[in-house]
Amino acid sequence: MSRSSSGFVAGLTAAAVAAVGFLAYQASASAPDGLKHPDKTPTAAPRSPKDKKNPTAVPAQSGSGKRVVYSLEDDRVWLVEQSGKPQITFKVTPGTVDPAPGTYTVSSRSGSVTGTDGKPIEHVVRFTTVDGVAIGFSAAVDGSTPKPDPSQKTGGIRESRAHGDAMWQFAVISQKVVVVP
């Protein structure tokens, strides 16, 4: 092959690589949020058997290490230390949109904002979105934990102010959050 044809082939190859890179960028820009960030994509969590003798025990199938565990069925949260022992566990009031069981990471936090119900909330710890609805833990400034309006799509998992303070201290950006059925 002559020098001029090898330069031509190199030019075609460079153009093809650039085109593929551009198409990959376009595909990633329009991908759903969970696919853009693979570490936020839920992984299936096996059903956690309940400990009949100790119903507040950390669910057996919630993984290991330091993590926040949220039980959809029990409306309960555990802040679990690296050792596997719970620092604290408490009941919560979920929003109308639930996350799928799986493993997530804390993706954003806000000290104080207005909730979707119009109430001032604090210590917001978000870990995923479902159909455009942000899912996360928060505490109403007035301390209330009312049932959400079923006609609204809300992802706020409400906790008391004291529990909100504990969550805020524990669940920093990238902290693992495990959602069990």
Q: Which residue has the tokens 């929003």?
A: 95
Other beta carbons less than 10 A from residue 35's beta carbon: 12
- Mind listing the pLDDT tens digit for each residue in 20-32? 444 444 444 444 4
In whole angstroms, give the CA distance from residue 164 to residue 155.
16
Q: How far apart are CA 144 and CA 138, in angstroms?
A: 11
Q: Cα 118 from chain centroid? A: 22
Q: What is the DSSP string of 103-133?
A: EEE--EEEEEEE-TTS-EEEEEEEEEEETTE
> So what's the pLDDT on residue 6?
55
Separation of alpha carbons 90 and 77, rounded Å: 6
Q: Please say if the pLDDT value at position 174 is more than 90.
A: yes
104-159 pLDDT, tens per residue?
999 999 999 998 888 899 999 999 999 999 999 999 999 998 899 999 999 999 99
Could you read off the pLDDT of 23-76 as tens digits, one per residue?
444 444 444 444 444 444 444 334 444 555 676 899 989 999 999 999 999 999
Domains of the chain: which residue ranges? 3-30, 39-180
> What's the length of the chain?
181
CATH, range 39-180 = 2.40.440.10
Q: Are 63 and 125 in contact (CB under 8 A)?
A: no
> Residue 82: how many CB atoms within 10 A of its CB?
9
The Cα 89–Cα 5 span in angstroms is: 70
